[in-house]
Amino acid sequence: MTLPRFLSVLFVIFILFGATPLHAQVGAQKTERIEAELVPMGQWAVPGSTAIIAIRQKIQPGWHTYWRNPGDSGGPTEAHWTLPQGYKAGDIVWPLPERQRLQTLMNYGYSGVVYLPVPIEVPASAKAGESVLVSAKVLFMVCSDEMCVPDEMELAVNLPVAEGTPPLTAAHGAAIQKVLETAPRSAEITARAHLEEGVLKLSASGGALAGMNPKWAYFFAFESGQVDHAALQQGQRGENGISLNIVAGRGLKAKGLGEGISGVLATDLGAWEITATEGDMLPSTSGLGALDNGENMSSKDAPASSGFLKAALFALLGGLILNLMPCVFPVLAMKAAALGRSAHDPREARKDGLGFLAGVLVTFGALASLLLALRAGGQAVGWGFQLQSPAVTAALSLLMLAVGLNMSGLFHIGGRLQGVGSGLAQGKGGVAGAFFTGVLAVVVAAPCTAPFMALALGAALVMPWPMALIVFVMLGLGLALPYVLVSFSPRILSRLPKPGSWMETFRNLLAFPMYGAALWLAWVFARQTGEALGLLFVAGLLLAFTLWLWGRYQSVGRRLMLAVAIFAAVLTVPATFLAMKAPPVPSAVVHEDGKVLASQSWSSAAVETALAEGRPVLVNFTADWCVTCKINERTALATAGTAKALAGANAVYLVGDWTNRDDAITRELERHGRSGVPLYLLYTPGVAEPRILPQLLTEGLVGKALSEATKQD
C-alpha cells in the first residue's frame, strides 16, 4: 500500500471511530487483530508509592504493533490516561523491540503477547480499603505485511488500595516484573558519535560494556529519520566497548548531530539506553573482532527458520533464472562444448554433469565464504565484488584468452578432445575439466543478479553464516541444475549428432565466444584502470605466443620450441604482474549511457535535492562488468523514448557506477535488500520509499513507470 493511499484509509477510519463513542470497560477487549487489557503487577497499590499497570496486548498471528520509534512505517502505541485526583501516569517502559523487515523497509515492534508497563504515582492521600478505577484510551497501530488498521480501545482496571508490600498478581505479575527487569536502562555507558560521508560512526564504552564479549550489536534510535533503519549495521568489538557504522537517515543528514543522538544499544548480552554526544571514536572499542547485527536472533515475527527456507527457495529459483540472464552468455560456450564432448557416452555425460555441479557449488561456497568474511570484518562489499578488482579482471581476461586458444587447437594438454578448462584434466572422462568449467561459469556469471536471486542474497547477508552459506549453495544448485538434468537424460543426449569430425569444428567455433569474453573483460579492465590496458595487451600477446610455441612443441617435439616457449613465459609474468597491479581509477563524475540519455552521478544528496525541487528521480545502479546492466542501458535507458519520458516527467536520471568498489553504493544496495547490480529505483516526490523496477527493463516499462510517478505526484 502506498503512503498516500495508506494515509487516506487511515483518515477515513479515524472519522469512523470519531463518530462512535467509546466507553471504558474493565477486562479484555478485542478486535479481529488484537486483544488488549490493563493489568496490574501488584495485587494492590500502596499510598505514597508507585504502582505498575501494564497495557497487555495479545496480537493475532501475522499482525504486529510498534515500538516508540516504529521504523520506516506504522506508529507507536499511544495511551491517554483518565485517573482519580492525585494519581499521575508516567511514560511507557518499552521492552526491546523486534526487527520486522518488509521488503525494503525495516520496522520496530512487537508480535504475540506484549506487556507495556506504565508507572502510576499513587498519592499519599489515597485511603486503604478503597478501590479506584484507572482507565486509558489506547491507540494501537496494528499492521500485517499488506495493511495497517488503527485499533482504538477504552481500557480500564479496578485498582485496590492497601497498606503493606503487595504480592505479584497471579496472572500477570511475574511477566510484567520480567519486562521491567529486562527493559533497556542506562548503565553509565559513555558514547560518542560523528558523521562521516553519510555514515554515523558510533562508539560506546565503559559501564555495562566493560569486559564484555558480545556476538552481535544493534542501535535502535529513539527518533525516526535519524538512521537508515533498513541498512545493515556493521560493528566491531574492542577491549572496553563496541563501535558501529550506521547509515545516517535523511533527518540526521539534514540537521546534523546537534546535541547528540539517543537510543537503545542492544547486544546478545543485554540492552541499554545511551546518548551519544558528538566526538571522535572512543579508544578500545574496536580491533578485537567483527560483530554480527543479530537481526535473525531478535525477530519472532519472522522466525529465522521460515526466513531461511524462503531465502533458500528464492536462491534456487534465482539460480535457475540466472541461466537465462545475459550475464551467462560468456559461459554458454563452455557448457555447449562439454555437452558435445560427452554426448556419445551417457556414463561420461553423467560424470561431467556431476563434475560441473561440484565446480559450481565449490566456487559459490568459496566466494560466499570470502564475502561473508569480508563483511564480518567491517568491509562494505556485495555480490560481484571479485570483478571490482582490476587484478581479478586482468587475470580472467588472460584466462579466457587461454581457454579460447585451447579450443582453437593452438595447444592441448592430453590427447583427446577437451571441453573448456579440460586442459586441467588428464583423461579419466574429463571430470576435472567439467569441474573447472563450473568454476569459470560461477566466476564470470555470478556478478550479476537475477529475479528472486537478489532478494535471496539480500536476506542471506543478514543471516547467521551457516544459513547464509547454504543459501549461496542453493543458488549454485539452481545455476547448475539444467546442465545436470540434461547430462542425466539419455533421451536428450541421444538427439545430439554422433561423434565425428564435426566435434572438432564445433569446438573451434565455440572458441570465439571465449575471445569475446576476453575482450569484454579487457574493456572492463580499461574502464577500471585507464592507461594500464596497454600492459594487459602486452601480457595477452606474450601469453598467446607462449601457448603457440607450446603447441608447436607438442606437434613436432623440438626442444628449441620448448626453450623459446619457456623464455616467452618468463617475459609474460612481469607484464601480467604489472597489469594486475594497476590501481583503479575513480568512478566518473558523469556517466553517459549513450548519445541520447545524459546522466549525473548518484549520491543521496543528489536524490534529496531533486526531490526537494519536486522532480522524480530515476536511479540506475550499474557496473561495466554486469552484462545485464549494459544490455538494459542500451535497449531500455539510452533510447530516444526514455529520454522523452524523462523530459516529460521533468525527472532526474542518476547513475551509481559500481564498476570499482564504492562503499556508499554498497550501503545503498543493502538498504534496499540487495547485494549486487542491477538495481533500478524510481523516487517520487512526497512518497517515502522508491519503487524498485524489474531487473530486465524495456523502454515501455520505464516510460510507464515515469508516467505513473508523474500522476502520483
- 153 with 208, same domain: the answer is no
Any alpha helices (H) in 258-326, and if so which ranges?
Answer: 304-322
- 103 with 228, same domain: the answer is no
Within-domain flag for 524: no
- 372 with 491, same domain: the answer is yes
Grid cell listed for 388? 571490482
What integer is the mean pLDDT of 107-132? 95
pLDDT tens digits, one per residue of 453-490: 766 776 666 666 777 888 888 988 988 888 888 888 87
Residue after which a domain boundary falls, among 462, 478, 509: 509
The reported pLDDT for the residue numbered 213 is: 85
Within-domain flag for 17: yes
Its domain, for residue 178, covers: 3-182
Check if the beta carbon of residue 617 is closer than 8 Å to that of residue 654: yes
Of residues 144 and 51, more confidence is placed in 51
How many structural domains compose the chain? Answer: 4
Within-domain flag for 576: no
pLDDT tens digits, one per residue of 513-524: 888 888 888 888
The reported pLDDT for the residue numbered 193 is: 95
- 277 with 328, same domain: the answer is no
- 325 with 274, same domain: the answer is no
Say if residue 593's pLDDT is above 70: no
Which CATH number covers residue 639?
3.40.30.10
Phi, psi angles (nearest 5°) of residue 501: -65, -20
- 415 with 486, same domain: the answer is yes
The reported pLDDT for the residue numbered 592 is: 43
| Cα–Cα distance list, 653 to 197, 227, 527, 677 (Å) | 22, 25, 21, 17
Give the chain's length: 713
- 654 with 708, same domain: the answer is yes
Grid cell listed for 641? 523514448
Check if the beta carbon of residue 369 is closer than 8 Å to that of residue 385: no
- 137 with 100, same domain: the answer is yes
The reported pLDDT for the residue numbered 23 is: 54
Whether this prediction's pTM lies above 0.85 is answered by no
The reported pLDDT for the residue numbered 666 is: 83
Say if residue 353's pLDDT is above 70: yes
Say if residue 181's pLDDT is above 80: yes
The reported pLDDT for the residue numbered 561 is: 65
The CB-based long-range contact list for 125-130 (8 Å cut-off, 24+ gap) reads: 125/47, 125/86, 126/45, 126/47, 126/48, 126/86, 126/87, 126/161, 127/47, 127/161, 128/47, 128/161, 128/162, 128/163, 129/161, 129/162, 130/160, 130/161
pLDDT tens digits, one per residue of 25-82: 788 999 999 999 999 999 999 999 999 999 999 999 989 999 999 998 888 999 999 9
pLDDT tens digits, one per residue of 258-295: 889 999 999 988 899 999 999 999 988 887 778 877 76
Residue after which a domain boundary falls, among 142, 166, 182: 182
- 447 with 480, same domain: the answer is yes
| Cα–Cα distance list, 530 to 167, 390, 524, 542, 583 (Å) | 77, 11, 10, 21, 9
Q: Is 540 left (phi over 0), alpha (psi -120 to 50) or beta?
A: alpha
Say if residue 121's pLDDT is above 90: yes
> At 140, is the secondary structure helix, strand, or coil?
strand
How far apart CA 225 and CA 254 sit, in angstroms, is 10
Within-domain flag for 425: yes
**How does residue 6 score in pLDDT terms, banded at 50, 70 and 90?**
very low
Check if the beta carbon of residue 325 is closer than 8 Å to that of residue 478: no
Say if residue 310's pLDDT is above 70: yes
Which CATH number covers residue 138?
2.60.40.1250
Grid cell listed for 344? 556419445
- 339 with 467, same domain: the answer is yes
How far apart CA 128 and CA 534 sit, in angstroms, is 93
Within-domain flag for 445: yes
Within-domain flag for 75: yes
> At 162, is the secondary structure helix, strand, or coil?
coil
Within-domain flag for 551: no
How far apart CA 656 and CA 672 sit, in angstroms, is 14
Check if the beta carbon of residue 261 is closer than 8 Å to that of residue 221: yes
The reported pLDDT for the residue numbered 446 is: 66
Residue after which a domain boundary falls, among 297, 325, 352: 297
Check if the beta carbon of residue 43 is closer than 8 Å to that of residue 168: yes
Say if residue 220's pLDDT is above 50: yes
Within-domain flag for 438: yes
- The residue with cell 521533468 is 650
CB atoms within 10 A of CB 533: 18
How far apart CA 561 and CA 270 sit, in angstroms, is 71
What integer is the mean pLDDT of 588-592? 39
- 153 with 257, same domain: the answer is no
Pairing of strands 199-205, 190-196: antiparallel
Of 245, 242, 287, 279, residue with least CA distance to 259 = 279
Say if residue 532's pLDDT is above 70: yes
- 45 with 162, same domain: the answer is yes
Check if the beta carbon of residue 373 is closer than 8 Å to that of residue 490: no
Say if residue 375's pLDDT is above 90: no
